[in-house]
Amino acid sequence: MAPTSTPQTPFGRVLTAMVTPFTADGALDLPGAQRLAAHLVDAGNDGLVVNGTTGESPTTSDAEKEQLVRAVLEAVGDRAFVVAGVGTNDTRHSVELARQAQAAGAHGLLAVTPYYSKPPQEGLYRHFTTVADATGLPVMLYDIPGRSAVPVETETLVRLAEHPRIVANKDAKGDLASASWVLARTDMVYYSGEDMLNLPLLSIGAVGVVSVVGHLVSAELRAMIDAFTAGDVAKAREIHQRLLPVYTGIFRTQGVILTKAALGLQGLPAGPLRLPLIEADEAQIAQLRQDLSAGGVEL
């Protein structure tokens, strides 16, 4: 049975964009994925996003993506939302992945802006609505022009919000003005997709986070969100400032690289990365230790 969803928090408040553990020889580590998923939910996550960028989705096969969704659902699907990343820059392929995720039992879909091909806004609108029409699952958009090259413009987001299954946006655009207008004009729910902006986005109406640093500080993120929603802005700000070294540290290079390094330091499943991503070197790991220690993370 899926966890309880509400229109205000369709996927909960604290979600982690989960890495995909691999074995030493680079194969999918399904037992490790289940152990990591259980650890993250025990740490306070309402949901997990699998097969996203942090899950190295560009380098996993469709079959591996399905196996991962099924494994994580088996481990935590009765107590956390499992949202499957289905984003590609090929609408037909995204539709196939969406239907595969629904068949596997996913609770929702994450659809990133098509990258590299730089479609116009009407192309983005048609892409997202076609994916949303392909299944009965709720869809979270993922607006991240730093990776996709094209932002989803405010008017496009307002149009997309009219679709009955496009219920949320993972915002990593860094444009608080656009987010403010979409929140003011629609019922679309916002989740912060950029850890450094978690608190600023909450301040304009976001309900939660889809976090990378959630691998390490889920309890702190929940405490910050709880404090803010309870009206204790000073406490929320104090937690935000305490986490700044973690936010900075994990993203000194590509986030998956240092997240997997941190998980390895904690003895949690992570394993190697698939090219073109590479493992952190000794200097990066030494700096990571300093950053995490400064942010209160025990290794």
Q: For the residues 140-144, what does the mean pLDDT come to?
A: 98
Q: Which residue is it, tokens 């096969």?
A: 61
pLDDT surpassing 70 at residue 1: no
Residue 72 lies in a domain: yes
The mean pLDDT of 98-122, rounded to a whole number, is 98
Both tokens of 16, joined, read: 């982690």
Quick check: is 258 in a domain?
no
176-218 confidence digits (pLDDT tens): 999 999 999 999 999 999 999 999 999 999 999 999 999 999 9
Find out whether 21 and 271 touch, Cβ atoms under 8 Å. Answer: yes
- Express each pLDDT in 2-61 by its tens digit: 678 888 999 999 999 999 999 999 999 999 999 999 999 999 999 999 999 999 999 999
| SS3 of residue 126 by DSSP | helix
Separation CA 198–CA 221 (nearest Å): 9
Count how many residues are written for the chain. 299
In a domain, residue 67? The reply is yes
Is 290 contained in some domain? no
Q: For the chain, what is the domain count?
A: 1
With 0-12 CB in 10 A as exposed, 13-18 as middle and 19+ as buried, what is 72?
A: buried
Residue 54 is assigned to a ligand binding site: yes
Q: Is the pTM of this model over 0.85?
A: yes
Residue 5 belongs to a domain: no
Within 10 Å of residue 114's Cβ, how many Cβ atoms? 21
- Per-residue pLDDT of 59-104, as tens digits, reads 999 999 999 999 999 999 999 999 999 999 999 999 999 999 999 9
Tokens of 293: 């220690």
Q: What is the mean pLDDT of residues 163-182?
A: 98
CATH no. for residue 135?
A: 3.20.20.70
| Tokens 């190697």, located at residue | 272
Is 210 one of the annotated binding-site residues? yes
Kind and range of the H or E run holding 170:
strand 166-171
Look at residues 196, 146, 200, 211 and name the one whose alpha carbon lies nearest to residue 177: 200
Burial pattern 280-293, b for ≥16 Cβ within 10 A else e, equals: beeebeeebbebbe
Among 87, 95, 152, CA closest to 121: 152
Tokens 């306070």 belong to 44
DSSP symbol at 209: E
Please report which confidence band the pLDDT of residue 120 belongs to, taking 50, 70 and 90 as the band edges. very high
Residue 247 included in any domain: no
Per-residue confidence (pLDDT) for residue 5, from 0 to 100: 82
Within-domain flag for 192: yes
Tell me if 253 is assigned to some domain: no
Q: Which residues are catalytic?
A: 142, 170
Residue 173 CB partners (closer than 8 Å, separation 6+): 143, 144, 145, 151, 152, 179
pLDDT tens per residue, range 249-272:
999 999 999 999 999 999 999 999
Work out the average pLDDT over 142-148. 96
CA angle, 171 as apex, 166 and 172 as ends, to 5°?
145
Average pLDDT value for residue range 127-134:
98
Q: In which domain, by residue range, is 202 found?
A: 14-232
